Structure 1
Amino acid sequence: MLNATPSSITVFDIGGTYLRWADWSPGHGLSRIQRTPSPSRARLPGTAVDELQSLLVDAVAQPVPPDGVAGISMGAALDHRTGTVYASAPLWGAHERPFDLLAALRSARPDVRWHIVNDVTAALLHLADTPVAQARSKILLATISTGIACRSIDRRTGAIPVDGCGLQGEIGHLPVSVALDGGPVELRCDCGEPGHLAAYSSGPGIRRLGEVMRDGRPDRWHASGIGTRLSSGAEFEPAFVAALDEGDPVATRLLDAATGPVADVVRTALCLDPQLDLVAFTGGVAVALGHHYRASLLRHLDRSGLYLTSERDPGWLRDRIVVCGPGQADGLVGAGLATLSGEAA
């Protein structure tokens, strides 16, 4: 017997930095949005992973009203079929013991009907439901934030394909190479492995790349727009954006170093699947950098694009690259859409 369509759903978006929640309904959208720092290893260093997971379950279980329905957008590599969490480097570092989040939530709040999807899946479901995607058949969405991952959907069928482990698009842990000033740079990913995409191109990765640039050429760094702002006490993210806004070459070089491996993934994806007609970017880093992020990606793709296609039809690739605006691919809304689908199944 199908569940009655809920009048309101409590939706969560669990990221490596923040945990957000709100009430959502298809007719009225989001209301009462709230945010708190996520219980992560970065915020609570030295805390055992089991304890971090218990704190997460408690934080999610509390806001849901009695006998409610809840949808979760979870920032982790998880089995799309079951909701079992395999790993989340931003939340738990190198820990890779599977965590049955769904069972833990049902144990904490058995009166609630719980639904869990990956956060990129949730954001993609929202994007696919917006006007920008209506004329597109196949969409790839990448999130560039504390962590990095992507998902693709065929809007003609609604299918988000997964592999035998229920995974898709864990590009943040692909091996890549990055060079600065003619020499290779080796950075370690939050998962513990060296040379992963997220080690260079995530929010923490970009800061680490900046430290490499600073240590390698300190005079140039401290004389730059980003360096002078950081020396005066500015936070990294606003200093980076302000320096890019003024055309600071050091900040631009840092961004290009971080987006290079991402552009390599985009190039390969479009080469292997030319039916992708939208490649979109969301997440705190991509959204905050906006047109700077897209311009940097396109600089790489203009220099080295798709064999023959980029020469014969330069707009074919460029027209597919979009950076989402704030709220355009929202995991909270996507969690609501996924929950409606799960309730109707």
Structure 2
Amino acid sequence: MRRRPSPSRTSLPDAAVDELQSALVRAMAGPVPPGGVAGVSFGAALDHRTGTVYASAPLWGAHTRPFDLLGALRSARPDVRWHVVNDVTAALLHVADSPTAHDRGKILLATISTGIACRTMDRRTGGIPVDGCGLQGEIGHLPAFVALDGLPVELRCDCGEPGHLAAFSSGPGIRRLGEVVRDRAPDRWEASRLGAGLAAGATFETALAKALAEGDPVANRLLDAATGPVADVVRTALCLDPGIDLVAFTGGVATGLGDHYREALLRHLDRAGLYLTSEREPGWVRERILVCGPGEADGLVGAGLAALAGEAA
């Protein structure tokens, strides 16, 4: 196992997008043994039919010129058989292959991390349907609304557009939402466990998790605001497709906050759930919500499963 930061606008802020893409291909192509088979789990909106990447706000910001990732990898290493899938698809393949899903027919997996997206899969057919662009589940770029103390919050997504779900609910989005909470109520912020943790030098993620564990009202208020748009998507998905047996969450934010994240979602769904169903069968929604633990939705495992399936096809 080797780990290294992806070449991105964060790690290389002065590099042009085509330079970042070339560096990324080199980084991915280098470690594969001669004549090998490589499964790739890639965090971007990509066409699952062709391996073409349309956009990746965390890597390239607002850039949306299509990039033929699969073609670039094949060109860089023609001796390798490449299989490229989106990282959420890869994580979903792992969950679907695990004991967690053995009695579930249809699964929705959402990742809440630097970016936000989801995928659905029917385990009975193995199908992950896509639209006319080869995409599915780019929920991070759906319109969303958040208010704090009755006042709307305006934040811009990493893709450059205002008011997207990821602007409020991704890892960077929650940090920006925290800045709004701080600026609107500085005294309350400074007196909070979250504010104290940050003032002591803790990272935002560490300070938030610790403050939630200590029952800090400011941290709970922040997480409640950040999970509201995500709960809206879950509610709509279950309303439109009651065949979904499992709604699983992964990614650094969801997995890192664990039960705190699940309970925040359920509070929203308890307050405003499915018409009649939440009142008459309250357990129906609750039993479908799962936050994956570390290693339970592993994109590398899923990429390996995708490569195995591709080789067998």
The TM-score range, normalised by the shorter chain, is: over 0.9
Q: Does 1:251 align with 2:219?
A: yes
- Corresponding position of 2:169: 201
Deviation at 1:132, TM superposition (A): 0.6
Q: Deviations over 1:112-160 (max 9, x none)?
A: 1111000000000000000010000000000000000000000110010
Deviation at 1:46, TM superposition (A): 2.3
Please give the alpha-carbon distance, in whole angstroms, between the structure 2 residues aligned to 1:215 and 1:129. 45
Q: Structure 1 stretches (4+) deviating beyond 6 angstroms?
A: none
Q: Does 1:52 align with 2:20?
A: yes
Q: Does 1:129 align with 2:91?
A: no
Please give the alpha-carbon distance, in whole angstroms, between the structure 2 residues aligned to 1:179 and 1:43. 32
TM-score, with structure 2 as normaliser? 0.99
Deviation at 1:239, TM superposition (A): 0.5
Deviation at 1:314, TM superposition (A): 0.3
Please give the alpha-carbon distance, in whole angstroms, between the structure 1 residues aligned to 2:140 and 2:303. 22
Q: Does 1:147 align with 2:115?
A: yes
Please give the alpha-carbon distance, in whole angstroms, between the structure 2 residues aligned to 1:270 and 1:81. 27
Please give the alpha-carbon distance, in whole angstroms, between the structure 2 residues aligned to 1:44 and 1:227. 30
- Corresponding position of 2:234: 266
- Secondary structure of 2:2's match? strand
Please give the alpha-carbon distance, in whole angstroms, between the structure 1 residues aligned to 2:54 and 2:120. 20
- Corresponding position of 1:301: 269
Please give the alpha-carbon distance, in whole angstroms, between the structure 2 residues aligned to 1:55 and 1:212. 35
Q: Does 1:160 align with 2:137?
A: no
Amino acid at match of 1:82: T
Please give the alpha-carbon distance, in whole angstroms, between the structure 1 residues aligned to 2:304 and 2:238. 30
Deviation at 1:232, TM superposition (A): 1.2
- Corresponding position of 1:6: none
Deviation at 1:181, TM superposition (A): 1.7
TM-score, with structure 1 as normaliser? 0.90
Q: Deviations over 1:275-309 (max 9, x none)?
A: 00100000011000000000000000000000000
- Corresponding position of 2:65: 97
- Corresponding position of 1:109: 77
- Corresponding position of 2:297: 329
Alignment of 1:34-73 (within 5 A): 34-73=2-41
Q: Deviations over 1:240-263 (max 9, x none)?
A: 000000000000000010000000
Q: Does 1:183 align with 2:158?
A: no
How many positions carry a matched residue from both structures?
A: 313
Amino acid at match of 2:157: C
Please give the alpha-carbon distance, in whole angstroms, between the structure 2 residues aligned to 1:176 and 1:237. 23
| Structure 1: gaps of 5 or more residues | 1-32
Larger strand share, 1 or 2: 1
Amino acid at match of 2:139: I
Q: Deviations over 1:180-208 (max 9, x none)?
A: 12100010000000000000000000000
Amino acid at match of 2:288: R
Amino acid at match of 2:194: I
Please give the alpha-carbon distance, in whole angstroms, between the structure 2 residues aligned to 1:79 and 1:190. 20
- Secondary structure of 1:37's match? coil
- Corresponding position of 2:197: 229
Q: Does 1:118 align with 2:67?
A: no
Q: Percent identity?
A: 80
- Secondary structure of 2:4's match? strand
Amino acid at match of 1:280: A
Please give the alpha-carbon distance, in whole angstroms, between the structure 2 residues aligned to 1:108 and 1:78. 19
Amino acid at match of 1:154: D
2:185 to 204, 207, 217: 217
Please give the alpha-carbon distance, in whole angstroms, between the structure 1 residues aligned to 2:55 and 2:107. 25
Amino acid at match of 2:259: H
